[in-house]
Structure 1
Amino acid sequence: MTTITDGSTTVTPDLVLQVTSSQDGGSIVHDIIGGGTVMTQRPALARTGTLTLFFLTEEQAEACRALHATGAQLQYDEPEHPSRALSYTATSIGPALDDATRKRWTVDVGFREVTG
């Protein structure tokens, strides 16, 4: 069961439709005038991406939106896929009524990983 929590409030989506993320490399390439390159090697930057969460009711979707709107650092845990565990903060929040059923809700959350 996937959970999202700030330590006191927990949201449990009925289904995680999608998790997308990317991680920019931190290394910098310096092109040298006259030819050649020099690399400044650094660790990769924090992950960014989108969580697409499905809820059976408007109340559940609203609770998810409200939790993300607090600006708190949140913890995403998906026991079936531990590599997707994530400490993050929301960068965008988009609840939407499912067009097909007009009864179910999705919430798209843009995120930025919080490290350290």
Structure 2
Amino acid sequence: MTSLIIPNDGTSANVSPTLVLGYEASLESKNVVHDIIGGGIGVTLIRPRPRSGTLALFFTEESAAFAAVELHKRETSFTLSDTDRPVVGMRYIVDGSVGIRLTDDRKRWEVSIDFQEVEA
């Protein structure tokens, strides 16, 4: 699997995790349901927001994991591409936390990123 994260700020910086360890996303409905006097409901249908959730990235090298954290401090959007799972590819912004943790075997690193997909 080849994953690549590129910041959309015109620089040549990028990060390539060993693995996209986790991907959890959801769409938030924006539909509005109105109660109608005398009974019944009215519905206003609105397109949902783009997906949001959490990416979990796995790194075998400490320096690459910390580079991923540093990369996500930038005031820009990012593009994720993945050759094995193209469906996870997207342009996103950080929306929440960026975390890093040492795995239980104390040899590898995981970086988590709360994201909001944005339109290109």
Q: TM-score, normalising length from structure 1? A: 0.92
Q: Which residue, out of 92, 98, 114, partners 1:93?
A: 98
Deviation of residue 69 (structure 1)? 1.2
Trace 1:52-71 onto structure 2 (pairs within 5 A): 52-71=56-75
The corresponding residue for 1:2 is 3
Deviation of residue 72 (structure 1)? 1.3
The amino acid across from 1:5 in the alignment is: I
Number of aligned residues: 115
SS of 2:72 mapped into structure 1: helix
- Aligned-residue identity in percent: 37
**4+ runs of 1 displaced by more than 3 Å?**
none
Q: Which residue, out of 21, 25, 37, partners 1:21?
A: 25
CA distance in 2 between counterparts of 1:82 and 1:57 reads 24
Q: Which residue, out of 105, 108, 112, partners 1:108?
A: 112
User: In 2, are the aligned partners of 1:71 and 1:90 still within 8 Å (CA)?
Assistant: no
SS of 1:10 mapped into structure 2: coil
The corresponding residue for 1:79 is 83
Deviation of residue 71 (structure 1)? 2.8
Question: What 5-or-longer segments of structure 1 have no aligned partner?
Answer: none
RMSD: 1.3
The amino acid across from 1:56 in the alignment is: T
CA distance in 1 between counterparts of 2:90 and 2:50 reads 10
The amino acid across from 1:93 in the alignment is: V
Question: What 5-or-longer segments of structure 2 have no aligned partner?
Answer: none
